[in-house]
Amino acid sequence: MKRIVKPLIGIFAGLTGAVVVVALFYFAAWAKESTPAINVDKTPIVRDAKAVTSFAPVVKKAAPSVVSIYSTQIIHLRRSRDPFMNDPFFRQFFGDPSGQDNGNQRERTRREESLGSGIIISPDGYILTANHVVEGMDEIQVAIPNGKQVYTAKVVGADPPTDVAVLKIDATGLPAVTLGDSDQLEVGDVVLAIGNPFGVGQSVTMGIVSALGRKIATPDEGYSIQDFIQTDAAINPGNSGGALVDGEGRLIGINTQIKSSSMGNEGIGFAVPINLAHNVMERLISGGKVSRGYIGIHMQDVDADLAQQFNLSSPNGVLVDDVMPGTPAEKAGIKSGDVITEFNGKEVDDGNSLQLLISECAPGSDATVKLIRNGAAKTLTVKLAELPIEATQIKNVQTPPASTNVNALDGVNMSDLDREARLGLKTPDNLQGALVTGVNPNSNAAEAGLQRGDVIVEINRQLVHDAETALKLCQQAKDKRTLVRVWRREGDVDGTRWITVDNTKK
């Protein structure tokens, strides 16, 4: 028996070794495909150099990496053979002439094509582009700059909040661009935009960095992560997804959109910074999606009036309106009325910058939050959760303009928050306050942003239990401005916000 077992053990060990070798081979191949070789050069650009007479060397370095993307969406349409059969009344009495439920319909298709650009970021066929260039498309073709090679591309992953997408084509030895460091950009740096505007062929335009950290209002596009580079280098339809490079030919942004009244270049274009796009790209390649951090607060930017009310030295930071129950913020001890000034060692200027910093953190990681509470500085540690889908539909509350009249509640009609009002507004069970039943449109309260249906919950940081309390607290206010906190429901979203009312002018 022993003589039989030993050879079997030897055979098994040999097979096991072979399996391990094969597994390691395939794992190495997979890892190589999943982790593309990307060139990165973060050397600061030389800003004291003399003006050059030609950017041809820079273009020769970067242009071969910029591709044209031709996307096609197939639209399926159904058209009736007999116009009478479009009317349900006639179908009820005459039936379907073909004997089938849809026999009176014939299907036809329409192909809608769009044009964009992309950038080769690795020799083995990974390409960066703008998500809106390929979103919802059925066919994607990539044309290499020499015009002789066209490849069918697949979408590795897409991230609508940053408008970044990663494509893959079956090719090797491609001319990959070198990535720069967008954090080192300064306003006034020379940049070149490379793409295929209007389908005329690869074109290069020159400009400068006009601004950094731009956020564009997108009221109908839901949740977004924005930190745009603004440039006056000409960007037109077809440039989307193309390259914005610095004076050394390094990729520092992905051209994504323009601000224009004519759908053409007017000198205001925007690009996603490459550092942000690189972070998104790595997560898309490794996991096919981007999981973002979440702390669970409703917030608003701090203006000069709020800074004065909260005894802040400057109108920087984010004012916490609400803390969602059971969220990382609540567990860490963040409270309504706190002003967040730093996140993970980086200054917080406004809600957009805080949202960007949180989104770059992995769920489950710890973050250090510095804030000001009642004039005192505090430091808390928050363990981030993963951003839930429903949170992407909630927008930051913008600070309303200050009013210019007298008396905070002048022109406001109020009542106690009774059972009928609670049912109608679907208020939380523990909500206390005074219900606003009417606001004079010419009053200071209306100018400050108070609305019918609001529930006043605090005045000058003191709780409001009912309408009488609200009136007394307002009459007792001695400062030039009154700080009012209200609860409000807007559609399916509810929460609190702060407004300030100027009591000094008529």
What are the start and end residues of each CATH 2.40.10.10 domain in the chain? 66-168, 178-287
Give the model's pLDDT for residue 413: 81
Q: Which fold has domain 66-168?
A: Thrombin, subunit H (2.40.10)
Residue 80 has pLDDT above 80, yes or no: no
Tokens 């307002």 sit at which residue? 474
Tokens 């523990």 sit at which residue? 430
Class of domain 293-393: mainly beta
Q: Are 332 and 369 in contact (CB under 8 A)?
A: yes
Give the model's pLDDT for residue 393: 46
Task: Quote the strand ranges of 12-136, DSSP E.
Answer: 39-40, 66-80, 105-120, 126-130
Using 50, 70 and 90 to split pLDDT, how confident is the model at 425? Answer: confident
Using 50, 70 and 90 to split pLDDT, how confident is the model at 407? Answer: low
Q: List Cβ neighbours of 188 (8 Å cut-off, separation of 6 or more).
A: 208, 209
The stretch 32-46 carries a mean pLDDT of: 78
Of 503, 373, 476, 484, nearest in space to 433 by CA = 484
CATH number of 412-502: 2.30.42.10
Give the model's pLDDT for residue 317: 87
Burial class (CB in 10 A: 0-12, 13-18, 19+), 212: middle
What is the rounded CA–CA span in Å between residue 143 and residue 131?
18
Class of domain 178-287: mainly beta
The one catalytic residue in 71, 114, 240, 353 is 240
240 is catalytic: yes
What are the start and end residues of each CATH 2.30.42.10 domain in the chain? 293-393, 412-502
314 is catalytic: no
Mean residue pLDDT across the chain: 79
What is the rounded CA–CA span in Å between residue 362 and residue 383?
10
List the single range of 38-42, 101-105, 424-428, 429-433 with lowest mean pLDDT.
101-105
117 is catalytic: no
Look at 212 and 224; give whichever has higher pLDDT.
212
The one catalytic residue in 65, 132, 232, 350 is 132
Q: pLDDT, tens digit, for every residue of 376-402? A: 889 999 999 988 765 554 433 333 333
Q: In what order do the strands lie in the sheet with 154-159?
A: 150-152, 139-143, 66-80, 105-120, 126-130, 164-168, 154-159
The CA angle 243-249-253, to the nearest 5 degrees, is 35
Of 215, 239, 264, nearest in space to 114 by CA = 239
The one catalytic residue in 117, 122, 163, 278 is 163
Q: pLDDT, tens digit, for every residue of 256-311? A: 988 766 666 778 899 999 999 998 999 899 888 888 888 988 888 888 888 888 88
Using 50, 70 and 90 to split pLDDT, how confident is the model at 91? Answer: very low
Question: Running DSSP on this structure, what letter comes out for residue 488?
Answer: E
Give the model's pLDDT for residue 395: 39
Phi/psi of residue 94, nearest 5 degrees: -105, -10
Q: Computed over its alpha carbons, how large is the radius of gyration of the chain?
A: 30
Residue 241 has pLDDT above 50, yes or no: yes
